[in-house]
Amino acid sequence: FPEMLLSRIESKSPAGTSRTEIGSVNTGVYMQELKPLFTQGSLKSTDQPTDIALIENQVPMNAETNEKAALFYPVQTADGIRYSKSSTFSLNENNQLTINGRPILSTDRQPITVDNENFTVSENGTVTTNGRTAGQIDVRMAEDVRNLKRDGNDLYSTADGNDLPSAAGNNQVAYSLKQGVSE
């Protein structure tokens, strides 16, 4: 109970006792639930080629919850595919694009390998390095964010164990990727 009522009990005579209310005391603040916020954050230009912001131009509303769907980057982990909203990428020892050391997946479900940090990312997520296409960064959509559960630092998985559908080519979704920008 976050609030308790305090009383004083006194013995007035051998015949009985009396009870006097003193007041209430609170046991402090507590958190009942932590709910992540998946809305688009503010954008900041960094001019770093490994910062790639995912900009939600149009996403459908969930009719049941009246909340917007959320877009994520799929990453490969030892436990399978997880999802991240992080816009800070890096290269691992194999020159794969990663988020927190986990390879980002392309639309063909493969890691994207570049030659070095001199790569470009188009608005649709196509990665080009030294004149060749390395792949297209996949973007996944969670239509109902209640199906997501936190799975580590900036990672989410689905509670039902199913993969989120790709937003690439979905005519209900409009997004763009912006290189050199952090969310």
pLDDT in tens, the chain (183 residues): 567 777 777 776 666 777 778 777 777 776 666 677 787 888 999 989 999 999 999 999 998 988 899 999 999 999 999 999 999 999 999 999 999 999 999 999 999 999 998 999 999 999 999 999 999 999 999 999 999 999 878 899 999 999 999 998 899 999 999 999 999
CA atoms within 13 A on the CB side of 119: 29
Compute the distance between CA of residue 74 and CA of residue 137 in angstroms, rounded to an integer. Answer: 9
**How much is the pLDDT for 81?**
95
pTM of the model: 0.79
Q: What is the tally of helices (H) and strands (E) in the chain?
A: 0, 17
Tokens 């960064």 correspond to what residue? 137
**How much is the pLDDT for 5?**
74
Six-digit token pair at 118?
Answer: 């001199």
**How much is the pLDDT for 30?**
67
**How much is the pLDDT for 168?**
87
CA dihedral 122, 110, 159, 40 (to 10 degrees): -10
CB 88 within 8 A of CB 180: no
CB contact set of 73 (below 8 Å; sequence gap of 6+)? 54, 83, 84, 85, 86, 99, 104, 105, 137, 138, 139, 140
**How much is the pLDDT for 17?**
75
Tell which residue, 89, 134, 138, has the closest CA to residue 113: 134
SS3 22: strand
